[in-house]
A = this chain, B = another copy of it.
Amino acid sequence: MKIAIINEISAADKNADILSALEGWGHQIFNLGNTSRNDTPGLLYIHTGLMSALLLNLKAVDFVVGGCGTGQGFLNAVMQYPGVFCGHLLTPLDAFLFARINAGNCVSLPLNQGYGWAGEVNLRQIFENLFTPQAGAGYPTQRAEPQRRGRELLAQVSQATHLKMAEILLRLPEEVYHPAITYTAFRPVLEEAARGFPDMQASLDKLA
Protein backbone atom coordinates (compact mmCIF):
# COMPACT_ATOMS: atom_id res chain seq x y z
CA MET A 1 0.00 0.00 0.00
CA LYS A 2 1.20 3.51 -0.81
CA ILE A 3 0.95 5.65 2.32
CA ALA A 4 1.90 9.31 2.68
CA ILE A 5 2.79 10.84 6.04
CA ILE A 6 2.07 14.58 6.14
CA ASN A 7 2.93 16.31 9.40
CA GLU A 8 2.43 19.95 10.27
CA ILE A 9 5.09 21.77 12.26
CA SER A 10 3.39 21.51 15.67
CA ALA A 11 3.68 17.73 15.61
CA ALA A 12 6.84 17.35 13.56
CA ASP A 13 8.60 15.75 16.51
CA LYS A 14 6.15 12.84 16.30
CA ASN A 15 7.06 12.18 12.65
CA ALA A 16 9.74 9.65 13.60
CA ASP A 17 7.24 7.73 15.75
CA ILE A 18 4.78 7.51 12.86
CA LEU A 19 7.49 6.41 10.46
CA SER A 20 8.66 3.74 12.85
CA ALA A 21 5.12 2.54 13.59
CA LEU A 22 4.54 2.03 9.85
CA GLU A 23 7.67 -0.05 9.39
CA GLY A 24 7.70 -3.73 8.69
CA TRP A 25 4.31 -4.16 7.03
CA GLY A 26 5.64 -3.84 3.49
CA HIS A 27 3.98 -0.47 2.83
CA GLN A 28 5.56 2.06 0.50
CA ILE A 29 5.96 5.20 2.60
CA PHE A 30 6.12 8.81 1.35
CA ASN A 31 7.21 11.15 4.12
CA LEU A 32 6.29 14.51 2.60
CA GLY A 33 5.55 17.04 5.34
CA ASN A 34 7.55 18.49 8.23
CA THR A 35 9.82 15.94 9.83
CA SER A 36 11.50 18.12 12.45
CA ARG A 37 10.63 21.14 14.60
CA ASN A 38 13.26 23.14 12.72
CA ASP A 39 11.88 22.56 9.22
CA THR A 40 11.12 25.62 7.13
CA PRO A 41 8.60 26.56 6.23
CA GLY A 42 6.61 25.23 9.15
CA LEU A 43 3.45 23.80 7.62
CA LEU A 44 0.04 24.52 9.19
CA TYR A 45 -2.99 22.22 8.98
CA ILE A 46 -4.37 24.47 6.28
CA HIS A 47 -1.34 23.45 4.17
CA THR A 48 -1.12 19.79 5.12
CA GLY A 49 -4.85 19.44 4.44
CA LEU A 50 -4.39 20.65 0.87
CA MET A 51 -1.25 18.56 0.32
CA SER A 52 -3.08 15.44 1.47
CA ALA A 53 -6.09 16.13 -0.72
CA LEU A 54 -3.83 16.67 -3.75
CA LEU A 55 -2.08 13.34 -3.21
CA LEU A 56 -5.38 11.47 -2.90
CA ASN A 57 -7.04 13.16 -5.86
CA LEU A 58 -3.95 12.60 -8.04
CA LYS A 59 -3.87 8.97 -6.90
CA ALA A 60 -0.24 9.42 -5.87
CA VAL A 61 -0.98 7.41 -2.73
CA ASP A 62 -3.72 5.14 -1.41
CA PHE A 63 -3.84 6.62 2.06
CA VAL A 64 -2.69 9.72 3.95
CA VAL A 65 -1.62 9.69 7.60
CA GLY A 66 -1.95 13.23 8.96
CA GLY A 67 -2.84 14.97 12.15
CA CYS A 68 -2.19 17.97 14.31
CA GLY A 69 -2.16 18.86 18.01
CA THR A 70 -5.66 17.58 18.70
CA GLY A 71 -6.45 16.01 15.34
CA GLN A 72 -9.42 18.35 14.80
CA GLY A 73 -7.61 20.98 12.73
CA PHE A 74 -6.16 18.68 10.08
CA LEU A 75 -9.44 16.76 10.01
CA ASN A 76 -11.41 19.91 9.17
CA ALA A 77 -8.81 21.11 6.68
CA VAL A 78 -8.47 17.91 4.64
CA MET A 79 -12.23 17.30 4.65
CA GLN A 80 -12.81 20.52 2.68
CA TYR A 81 -11.75 18.72 -0.51
CA PRO A 82 -13.49 16.16 -2.72
CA GLY A 83 -12.75 12.46 -2.47
CA VAL A 84 -11.35 12.56 1.05
CA PHE A 85 -12.79 10.30 3.78
CA CYS A 86 -10.99 10.81 7.02
CA GLY A 87 -11.16 9.16 10.43
CA HIS A 88 -10.21 10.79 13.74
CA LEU A 89 -8.63 7.80 15.43
CA LEU A 90 -7.35 7.56 19.00
CA THR A 91 -7.34 3.85 19.79
CA PRO A 92 -6.91 0.50 18.04
CA LEU A 93 -10.67 -0.02 18.40
CA ASP A 94 -11.32 3.25 16.54
CA ALA A 95 -9.07 1.99 13.75
CA PHE A 96 -10.67 -1.46 13.72
CA LEU A 97 -14.14 0.01 13.26
CA PHE A 98 -13.16 2.79 10.84
CA ALA A 99 -11.42 0.28 8.56
CA ARG A 100 -14.36 -2.10 8.49
CA ILE A 101 -17.25 0.41 8.41
CA ASN A 102 -15.96 3.58 6.77
CA ALA A 103 -12.96 2.28 4.84
CA GLY A 104 -11.69 5.81 4.30
CA ASN A 105 -8.44 6.99 2.75
CA CYS A 106 -7.13 9.32 5.44
CA VAL A 107 -6.56 9.49 9.18
CA SER A 108 -6.15 12.51 11.44
CA LEU A 109 -4.17 11.68 14.59
CA PRO A 110 -4.03 13.72 17.80
CA LEU A 111 -0.26 14.13 18.09
CA ASN A 112 0.12 16.46 21.06
CA GLN A 113 -3.07 16.15 23.13
CA GLY A 114 -2.98 12.83 24.98
CA TYR A 115 0.24 11.91 23.22
CA GLY A 116 2.64 10.78 25.90
CA TRP A 117 5.01 8.01 26.79
CA ALA A 118 4.51 4.87 24.66
CA GLY A 119 2.54 6.89 22.14
CA GLU A 120 4.45 5.07 19.40
CA VAL A 121 3.09 1.74 20.67
CA ASN A 122 -0.44 3.08 20.38
CA LEU A 123 0.30 4.28 16.83
CA ARG A 124 1.53 0.84 15.88
CA GLN A 125 -1.60 -0.80 17.28
CA ILE A 126 -3.75 1.74 15.44
CA PHE A 127 -2.00 1.09 12.11
CA GLU A 128 -2.17 -2.67 12.63
CA ASN A 129 -5.96 -2.40 12.83
CA LEU A 130 -6.29 0.29 10.17
CA PHE A 131 -4.37 -1.32 7.33
CA THR A 132 -6.13 -4.64 7.24
CA PRO A 133 -7.45 -6.92 4.50
CA GLN A 134 -10.78 -6.51 6.36
CA ALA A 135 -11.15 -2.91 5.15
CA GLY A 136 -14.75 -2.47 4.08
CA ALA A 137 -15.78 -5.90 5.38
CA GLY A 138 -18.35 -4.27 7.69
CA TYR A 139 -18.90 -4.45 11.40
CA PRO A 140 -20.74 -6.40 12.45
CA THR A 141 -20.35 -8.36 9.23
CA GLN A 142 -24.12 -8.76 8.72
CA ARG A 143 -24.21 -4.96 8.31
CA ALA A 144 -21.62 -5.06 5.52
CA GLU A 145 -24.08 -4.29 2.72
CA PRO A 146 -25.79 -1.16 4.14
CA GLN A 147 -22.37 0.09 5.26
CA ARG A 148 -21.02 -0.41 1.74
CA ARG A 149 -24.01 1.46 0.33
CA GLY A 150 -23.36 4.30 2.81
CA ARG A 151 -19.79 4.64 1.51
CA GLU A 152 -20.99 4.62 -2.08
CA LEU A 153 -23.51 7.41 -1.44
CA LEU A 154 -20.93 9.38 0.52
CA ALA A 155 -18.56 9.25 -2.46
CA GLN A 156 -21.36 10.51 -4.73
CA VAL A 157 -22.17 13.31 -2.31
CA SER A 158 -18.51 14.30 -2.22
CA GLN A 159 -18.49 14.74 -6.01
CA ALA A 160 -21.81 16.59 -5.97
CA THR A 161 -20.81 19.15 -3.35
CA HIS A 162 -17.28 20.04 -4.46
CA LEU A 163 -15.67 21.73 -7.41
CA LYS A 164 -12.98 19.81 -9.27
CA MET A 165 -9.52 19.91 -7.69
CA ALA A 166 -8.09 21.71 -10.72
CA GLU A 167 -10.61 24.52 -10.31
CA ILE A 168 -10.23 24.54 -6.54
CA LEU A 169 -6.51 25.14 -6.83
CA LEU A 170 -7.15 28.38 -8.71
CA ARG A 171 -9.65 29.63 -6.12
CA LEU A 172 -7.57 29.14 -2.96
CA PRO A 173 -5.83 32.04 -1.17
CA GLU A 174 -2.11 32.18 -1.99
CA GLU A 175 -1.39 31.89 1.73
CA VAL A 176 -2.95 28.43 1.53
CA TYR A 177 -1.68 26.97 -1.73
CA HIS A 178 1.81 28.45 -1.99
CA PRO A 179 3.55 26.94 1.06
CA ALA A 180 1.79 23.65 0.28
CA ILE A 181 2.61 23.12 -3.37
CA THR A 182 6.16 24.46 -3.13
CA TYR A 183 7.24 22.44 -0.10
CA THR A 184 10.58 20.88 -1.00
CA ALA A 185 9.85 17.27 -0.03
CA PHE A 186 6.39 17.43 -1.57
CA ARG A 187 6.94 19.27 -4.87
CA PRO A 188 8.58 16.46 -6.90
CA VAL A 189 5.90 13.93 -5.90
CA LEU A 190 3.19 16.42 -6.82
CA GLU A 191 4.74 17.16 -10.23
CA GLU A 192 5.23 13.52 -11.02
CA ALA A 193 1.64 12.68 -10.07
CA ALA A 194 0.14 15.65 -11.94
CA ARG A 195 1.54 14.37 -15.25
CA GLY A 196 -1.43 12.03 -15.59
CA PHE A 197 -3.93 14.86 -15.04
CA PRO A 198 -3.72 17.60 -17.69
CA ASP A 199 -6.23 19.89 -15.93
CA MET A 200 -4.22 19.71 -12.71
CA GLN A 201 -1.01 20.25 -14.61
CA ALA A 202 -2.51 23.36 -16.20
CA SER A 203 -3.64 24.75 -12.86
CA LEU A 204 -0.26 24.11 -11.28
CA ASP A 205 1.42 25.85 -14.21
CA LYS A 206 -0.78 28.92 -13.68
CA LEU A 207 0.21 29.08 -10.01
CA ALA A 208 3.93 28.69 -10.70
Contact = CB atoms under 8 A, between A and B. Distances in A.
Interface string A25-52: 0000000000000000000111001100
Interface in A142-172: 146, 150, 153-154, 156-158, 160-163, 168, 171-172
Given A88-B88, A160-B168, A98 B72 contact: yes
Contacts of A88: 71-72, 75, 88
Count of identical protomers in the assembly:
4
A90 interface: yes
Interface in A77-130: 77, 79-82, 85-88, 90-94, 96-98, 101-102, 104, 110, 112-119, 121-122, 125, 129
Contact of A121 (B46, B96, B160): B96
A85 B173 CA distance: 19
Given A98-B70, A173-B156, A113 B93 contact: yes
A112 B117 contact: yes
A205 interface: no
Q: Is the interface of A mostly helix, strand, loop or mixed?
A: helix
A157 B112 contact: no
Contact of A69 (B82, B117, B122, B173): B117
A182 interface: no
B80 A93 contact: no
Contacts of A94: 70, 72, 113
9 contacts: A46-B153, A70-B94, A70-B101, A72-B98, A77-B154, A88-B88, A94-B113, A112-B118, A114-B115
